[in-house]
């Protein structure tokens, strides 16, 4: 594997290898080794055309913990605002000797273009492209699910994961459906018909339009952010009605099995898709997802550019 653009780039064995490596890195860092020399002398570029808090910071931290030199490039404040193209930006990074480029872009397909046009020789990691994919988010979500619900297993056979809300605009949902189903989980997608993409019935998941009856079946429930910034029309009558039908509140959370965990990729709209009480409640693993993001991204960088994939 040279690039990570989509979860479809990963075989099941490769995905499990990333999760196993993350588990080992977690143990090493838990035992006090905060920094490893694995990527000393390598240059990792964070190329962000779209805002990010968790993904950008955790990739930066992950690369630094592996001793790489890290450059963070934000489109705002760069020559992109003078009209520089993605190609010329790629050629510039190639000239500077980037070994890996982590790209977030508002356009679906931008990471694929960087990886497969020959503009740059670096490894390309997709940190979220438009509404298409966010593969490292799916990997950190799978890692979080494994730690809580399948700590001694490599596959997710027998587990049911609910993904709820604005599926239409969610790259997190697309990547999670692909990865979790490949690992053997049953995935149930729930949301209003207006927020389901065309062709969703072809995806490896079950589609439902009503949340309440599904709750007792779920081992994990992943609430999606309502992405109002990507909506150029009215997809539901009002925020209040959306919350009433699809929001996770205390009453709904009490209908989940006792062992079930509540997840959200962030950033959250508290009071819309999830109440503050549930987001901060005892079932929530939302801050653990953030912490696991650093470990999983360390594993991806190690396997992709540290040569770990060829051990």
Smallest gap from residue 84 Cβ to ligand CP (A):
23
DSSP letter assigned to residue 166 = -
DSSP letter assigned to residue 7 = G
Smallest gap from residue 74 Cβ to ligand CP (A):
13
113 or 175: CB nearest ligand CP: 175
Smallest gap from residue 63 Cβ to ligand CP (A):
15
Sign of CA dihedral 265, 136, 187, 16: negative
Smallest gap from residue 279 Cβ to ligand CP (A):
14
Tokens of 137: 């988010």
Smallest gap from residue 254 Cβ to ligand CP (A):
26
How many residues are given for the chain? 311
30 or 229: CB nearest ligand CP: 229
11 or 53: CB nearest ligand CP: 53
Smallest gap from residue 236 Cβ to ligand CP (A):
22
Residues linked to residue 62 through DSSP beta bridges, in sequence order: none
Q: What do you get for the CA distance between the two ends of the chain, in Å?
A: 13
127 or 195: CB nearest ligand CP: 127
113 or 176: CB nearest ligand CP: 176
Smallest gap from residue 213 Cβ to ligand CP (A):
28
Compute CA distances 204 → 1, 11, 67, 166, whole Å: 23, 16, 39, 17
160 or 175: CB nearest ligand CP: 175
Compute CA distances 215 → 20, 35, 164, 208, 244, whole Å: 30, 41, 11, 12, 15
132 or 186: CB nearest ligand CP: 132
165 or 306: CB nearest ligand CP: 165
Smallest gap from residue 289 Cβ to ligand CP (A):
8
Compute CA distances 212 → 153, 220, 237, 253, whole Å: 29, 14, 20, 10
DSSP letter assigned to residue 89 = H
What's the CA gap between 262 and 220, in Å, rounded? Answer: 6
> Residues interacting with ligand CP, by CB under 6 A?
52-55, 128, 134, 137, 265-267
The helix/strand/coil state of 173 is: helix
Compute CA distances 77 → 48, 53, 73, whole Å: 11, 17, 9
Closest CA to 189 of 158, 224, 137, 143: 224
């Amino acid at each position: 594997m040279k690039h990570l653009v989509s979860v479809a780039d990963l075989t099941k064995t490769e995905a499990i290898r990333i999760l196993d490596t993350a588990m080992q890195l977690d143990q090493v860092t838990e035992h006090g080794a905060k920094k490893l020399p694995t990527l000393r002398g390598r240059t990792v570029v964070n190329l962000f055309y779209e805002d990010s808090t968790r993904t950008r910071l955790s990739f930066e931290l992950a690369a630094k913990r592996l001793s790489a030199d890290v450059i963070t490039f934000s489109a705002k404040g760069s020559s992109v605002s003078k009209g520089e193209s993605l190609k010329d930006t790629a050629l510039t990074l190639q000239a500077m000797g980037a070994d890996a480029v982590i790209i977030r872009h508002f356009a679906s397909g931008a990471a694929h273009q960087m990886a497969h046009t020959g503009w740059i020789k670096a490894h390309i990691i997709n940190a979220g492209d438009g509404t298409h994919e966010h593969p490292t988010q799916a990997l950190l979500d799978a890692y979080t699910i494994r730690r809580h619900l399948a700590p001694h297993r490599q596959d997710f056979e027998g587990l049911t994961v609910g993904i709820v809300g604005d599926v239409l605009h969610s790259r997190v949902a697309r990547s999670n459906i692909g990865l979790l189903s490949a690992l053997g989980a049953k995935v149930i997608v729930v949301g209003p018909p207006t927020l389901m993409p065309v062709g969703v019935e072809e995806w490896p998941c079950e589609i439902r339009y009503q949340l309440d009856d599904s709750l007792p079946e779920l081992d994990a429930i992943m609430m999606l952010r309502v992405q109002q910034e990507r909506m150029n029309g009215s997809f539901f009558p009002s925020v209040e009605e959306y919350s009433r039908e699809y929001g996770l509140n205390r009453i709904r959370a009490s209908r989940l099995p006792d062992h079930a965990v509540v997840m959200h990729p962030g950033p959250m709209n508290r009071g819309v898709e999830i109440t503050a009480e549930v987001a901060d409640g005892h079932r929530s693993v939302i801050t653990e997802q953030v912490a696991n993001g650093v470990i999983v991204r360390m594993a991806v960088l190690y396997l992709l550019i540290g040569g770990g994939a060829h051990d």
